[in-house]
Structure 1
Amino acid sequence: MGAGLPKTPEQFHKIPHARLAIIGSSWHSDCVDAMINRAQKELLALDVKPQNISIHKVPGSLELPFAARLLFEADPELDAILAFGVVLKGITSHDEMVLHGVFEGFMDVTERFGKPVINEVIGVDSVEDAQKRSGDNHMNKGVEAVYATSELLHWVNQLKG
């Protein structure tokens, strides 16, 4: 079992009819892109159609909630959004303000649209920490995001009958 998840990727629920958007911050793009690429790979393994996955990049993590809102407004058929970013701890409290703003923004979007935003904007002490969470293994946050998405969408579908 990878990354401490309750299931291996092979055990994730298939979500073949899901329509998903992936958004990522441009800061620390090597790590963010690796998370996005891994998420896309895992989604395809769950039978999500490539044409039902859109990928978008925005300048920074603070812009991610705004992008999520616009995506849900532009495409009401979206089932969920997976969001990726890296916020590096600094000598000021800016990183904490960014992480808090992102969290609150995603909560507002989720409440407004009644659809999940899977938040994988990570706060790290160093670039090396971000690289560990975006490597080519099950520690990659893309895997965790897809796990949450598949479990949640499966649960929602069960509620709807």
Structure 2
Amino acid sequence: MKSCYDLNPEDLVIENQGKIAVVASMFNGDVTRELVRCCLNTLKQFGYQKNQVDVYWVPGAWELPQTVRIVAREKNKNDAVIAIGCIIRGETAHFDYVAGEANSGLGEVARSVGFPVIFGVLATDTWEQAWERASESGGNKGEELAKAALHMIKLFRRIQ
């Protein structure tokens, strides 16, 4: 799968690395753990150490916006926050409520803070679709999320 982050790796190297926070949902944990694993591996490839990345686990995607907002309030602590979740459609309208609120809530937080908030919530019809997007051998969205964060950190630094 092609990604918009198939950039020259040198363009994603950040001098004076700060911290990055990852807020991840435990629901559909096999998928979200893979997203987090691939994300952390990519950040490590770009020089981030364990003490530069904080990972916070929340029960589900519904809790992502409020937790990302709290993490974002820690001024000057993080250069970016990556929100990771997985919502799989079921037989009720619950999917629509949770996916919609996670999306709008994270969007609201992203517009209100002065640094990048990366949206990494998969909303799929089936577990197989979610796994295909998350797995390292598939879409590897975790890698893409890390690269999106690095790209946006560099962009925000250039603008500010």
Q: TM-score scaled to structure 2, two decimals? A: 0.89
1:117-156 equivalences under 5 Å are 117-137=117-137, 139-156=139-156
Counterparts of 1:137 and 1:48, CA distance in 2 = 23
Question: Where does 1:18-57 land on structure 2 (aligned, <5 Å)?
Answer: 18-57=18-57
Question: Structure 1: which 5+ runs fail to align?
Answer: none
Match for residue 14 of structure 1? 13
The answer to whether the 8 Å contact 1:9/1:42 transfers is no
Aligned ranges 1:32-111 → 2 under 5 Å:
32-74=32-74, 76-111=76-111
The percentage of counterpart residues that share the same residue type is 23
Partner amino acid for 2:127? V
- Please say if residues 88 and 95 of structure 1, whose CA atoms lie closer than 8 Å, have aligned partners that are also in contact: yes
Give TM-score, length-normalised by structure 1: 0.89
What CA distance in whole angstroms lies between the structure 2 residues aligned with 1:123 and 1:117?
Answer: 18
In the TM superposition, what whole-angstrom CA distance separates every residue of 1:85-113 from its partner, at most 9, and x where no partner exists?
A: 11011222221221111111112212222
Letter in 1 for 2:78: L
Distance 2:9 2:113 in 1: 30
Partners of 1:152 and 1:11 lie apart in 2 by 14
Q: 1:45 Cα shift?
A: 1.0
Deviations 1:85-142 (A, max 9, x none): 1101122222122111111111221222222211111111111111111212361111
Deviation at 1:19, TM superposition (A): 1.1
Deviation at 1:18, TM superposition (A): 3.1
For structure 2, the 5+ residue unaligned runs are none
Partners of 1:18 and 1:29 lie apart in 2 by: 28
Check the 8 A contact 1:21/1:81 in 2, yes or no: yes
CA 1:69/1:122 → structure 2, altered by over 3 Å: closer, same or farther? same
Range with greater deviation from structure 2 (129-138 or 145-154):
129-138
Work out whether residues 87 and 121 of structure 2, in 8 Å CA contact, stay in contact via their aligned partners in 1. yes
Alignment size in residue pairs = 159
- Describe the shift of the 1:9–1:25 C-alpha distance in structure 2 as closer, same or farther (beyond 3 A): farther
- Is contact 1:12-1:147 (8 Å) kept? no
Corresponding residue number in structure 1 for 2:3: 4
